[in-house]
């Protein structure tokens, strides 16, 4: 049983590691350009598109134009991990900050210019913490879960 859970957590850690490496590579090569916000607002809704969570959250809807090598492109992303926030205050702060001026900095991937975000790419701390937790759970499941289950079963038999 412990080995089964250990395998599950190890696979989850591998998936998180791949996501972290991808996001880290892309964010390191992103280039800043100027853009213009066409529309920005937020609403309370059910967000099933977020990579971090699914459920009730404050979803920021944004449309902006930016230029790469003379081509005008359109974007809708705030961050790599989506446009939703758990707290209303966080969504309000982002909308207020970006609404101050229509001209904004847009970060885009020079290898794929259609991949653009408005908020400066940062180290994916949440994903790294999730990776570490999965590694620890994998190790603990492999090492201790079988022994714990056997101990509890023996305890209940008496």
CB 141 within 8 A of CB 6: yes
pLDDT at residue 52, rounded to an integer: 47
pLDDT at residue 50, rounded to an integer: 45
Task: Tell me: pLDDT of 120 over 80.
Answer: yes
CB 127 within 8 A of CB 16: yes
What phi and psi values does residue 5 have, to the nearest 5 degrees? -65, -40
- CA–chain centroid gap for 58, Å, is 15
Here the tokens at position 114 are: 């259609």
Q: pLDDT tens digit string along 39-89?
A: 999 988 875 544 445 567 899 999 999 999 999 999 999 988 788 888 999
pLDDT at residue 23, rounded to an integer: 81
Categorize the per-residue pLDDT at 140 as very low, low, confident or very high, splitting at 50, 70 and 90. confident
CA angle 56, 42, 90 (to 5 degrees): 75
**Residues of the chain with pLDDT > 90: what percent?**
39
Categorize the per-residue pLDDT at 102 as very low, low, confident or very high, splitting at 50, 70 and 90. confident
Categorize the per-residue pLDDT at 115 as very low, low, confident or very high, splitting at 50, 70 and 90. very high
- CA–chain centroid gap for 14, Å, is 16
pLDDT at residue 125, rounded to an integer: 75
Going by C-alpha positions, the residue among 3, 15, 6, 5 that lies closest to residue 131 is 15
Based on C-alpha coordinates, what's the Rg of the chain? 21
Here the tokens at position 66 are: 């930016």
């Amino acid at each position: 049983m412990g080995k089964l859970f250990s395998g599950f957590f190890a696979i989850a850690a591998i998936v998180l590691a791949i996501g972290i490496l991808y996001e880290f590579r892309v964010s390191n090569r992103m280039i800043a350009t100027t853009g213009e916000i066409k529309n920005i607002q937020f609403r309370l809704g059910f967000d099933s598109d977020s990579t971090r969570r699914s459920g009730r959250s404050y979803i920021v809807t944004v449309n902006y134009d930016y230029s790469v090598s003379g081509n005008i492109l359109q974007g809708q992303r705030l961050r790599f991990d989506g446009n939703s926030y758990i707290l209303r205050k966080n969504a309000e702060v982002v909308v207020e900050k970006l609404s101050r001026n229509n001209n904004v900095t847009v970060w885009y991937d020079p290898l794929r210019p259609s991949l653009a975000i408005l908020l400066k790419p940062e180290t994916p701390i949440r994903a790294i913490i999730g990776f570490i937790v999965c590694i620890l759970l994998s190790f603990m499941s492999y090492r201790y879960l079988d022994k714990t289950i056997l101990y509890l079963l023996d305890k209940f038999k008496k």
